[in-house]
Amino acid sequence: MEQRATLPMLGGRLPELKVTTTHGKMTLPDDLAGQWFVLFSHPADFTPVCTTEFVALAAAHDEFKAMNTELVGLSVDAVTAHLKWTEWIKENMNQEITFPIIADSLGRVSNELGMIHEAKGTDTVRAVFIVDDKGILRTMMYYPQEAGRSVKEILRTIKALQYGSANGVAMPENWPNNELLGDDVIIPPATTEALAEERRQTMKDNKDVDYKDWWFISKPMDK
């Protein structure tokens, strides 16, 4: 029977990946220990939707780095194709691609991480893996070949994850621009009867929080 790789799970460590990139050989996540990174796949070099994504990602590279986050691209193209394509982007789009791109010509990494979906062909779909500074997988996003990603959403997700991790809170929809809460953050719900009752007694009239119920309490983010 054919053996299929098991997808990595959120909250687990990204599997060790020894890869060849446009910046040389790398071992992930170890070579980026202490940094967050975004590992993302694109269907193919020299394709228009992918080109728009790469231009946008490269233009935002400094924003990612300001959040201690690196970018790593991937497709099943050879490294020579990557190099020629990034050269074309620089010459024709006036945008230098400053992050490494994995050449996964044998599809080993793509299959291990579930980036190839048979119903969509043999190219990688648009997958996004956000990995934290300890090598833990924090977010997975998948898009079909025909729909480009939003770089702003990737940046927003990293900001939310980093703030939530540092402050022990959860983030509402579209944070920090939620229609109900604005940029307020959510205190995780009580998980025991005792804690729920404690919150009823101590937080209901607390002016520093917005108490809707014991399971729905928000507060301003620290500026």
**Are 67 and 34 part of one and the same domain?**
yes
Predicted local confidence at residue 6, as pLDDT: 64
| 23 and 84 co-located in one domain | yes
Q: Does residue 52 fall inside a structural domain? A: yes
b vs e for 65-76, b when ≥16 Cβ sit within 10 Å of the residue's Cβ? eeeebbbbbbbb
What's the total number of domains in the chain? 2
Task: Verify that 129 and 203 share a domain, yes or no.
Answer: no
Residue at which a domain ends, from 149, 179, 207? 149
In a domain, 8, yes or no: no
> Does 183 share its domain with 111?
no
CATH code at position 210: 3.30.1020.10
Domain endpoint, select from 149, 183, 211: 149
Residue 21 and residue 128 in one domain: yes
Range of the domain at 116: 17-149
Q: Are strands 17-21 and 69-75 parallel, antiparallel or unpaired?
A: unpaired
At 3 the pLDDT is 44
Residue 111 and residue 218 in one domain = no
Looking at the structure, tell me whether residues 133 and 173 fall in a common domain.
no
216 and 135 share one domain: no
- 199 exposure class (CB count in 10 Å sphere: 0-12, 13-18, 19+): buried
Q: Residue 86 falls within a domain, yes or no?
A: yes
CB-side neighbour CA atoms (13 Å) of 74: 30
CATH number of the domain at 31, please.
Answer: 3.40.30.10
The per-residue pLDDT for 216 is 96
Pair of tokens at residue 197? 């009752």
- The answer to whether the beta carbons of residues 111 and 101 sit under 8 Å apart is no
Which residue is catalytic, options 17, 32, 50, 171? Answer: 50
- pLDDT, one tens digit per residue, over 106-155 is 889 998 898 888 777 778 889 999 999 999 999 999 998 889 999 999 99
Whether residues 128 and 209 fall in one domain: no
Give the torsion through C-alpha atoms of 91, 87, 40, 221, to 10 deg: -40
Q: Of 149, 181, 200, which closes a domain? A: 149
Residues of the chain predicted below pLDDT 50: 1-4
Is 6 among the residues known to form the active site? no
Report the predicted TM-score, pTM, of the whole model to 2 decimal places. Answer: 0.92
DSSP string, 121-141: -SSB-EEEEEE-TTSBEEEEE
Q: Clarify whether residues 125 and 34 are in a common domain.
A: yes
